[in-house]
Amino acid sequence: MGRVVSSQVLQEAVAALKAKGKRIVFTNGCFDIIHTGHVRYLREAKKLGDILIVGLNSDTSVAGIKPGRPVNPQDQRAEVLSALEMVDYVAIFDEDTPYNLIKLVRPDVLVKGGDWKKEDIIGSDIVPEVHSLPYIAGVSTTDIINKIKT
């Protein structure tokens, strides 16, 4: 089961894990309303290494990039994410992008959903291996919110 940790604790944990030869995978997002697309995506991301770290946009960060969001507060989003079997660590970040967190962690693998081109993925300039995983059409938090509203 995953753990919600500060960036400092995460940096220390990653250093210890790398010393043991573990392959570190990093992804990030808002994960506002967890759905099938998220679960499949995180499962595939975990297969790319030994440890999966999720950088979670803080409430302030989400509000800056997605007006009217988040639906769920960061502590609840972090708790749900950390309960997923494939997630090892969750770290909340306040900036618009996780670049500083990626720089701190220096993962072996960086992953985003298929709606991102590899070259546009934040951190692709400092992480040796970058993947854009297949996007599951018709399954998104925005679609769920719109369905609820109608």
Give CA–CA dist 61/69, Å, rounded. 10
The domain defined by 3-133 folds into Rossmann fold (3.40.50)
Q: Report residues of the chain scoring pLDDT below 50.
A: none
pLDDT digits (tens, 9 = 90+) for 36-64: 889 999 999 999 999 999 999 999 999 99
pTM of the model: 0.91
Residue 117: the pLDDT is 79
For position 13, what pLDDT does the model report? 97
Q: Which pLDDT score, from 0 to 100, does residue 109 have?
A: 98
Task: For residue 102, count CB atoms less than 10 angstroms from its CB and return exposed for 0-12, middle for 13-18, buried for 19 or more.
Answer: buried
Q: Which of 64, 123, 56, 48 is nearest to 96 (CA)?
A: 64
**SS3 assignment, position 94:** coil
The domains of the chain are located at: 3-133
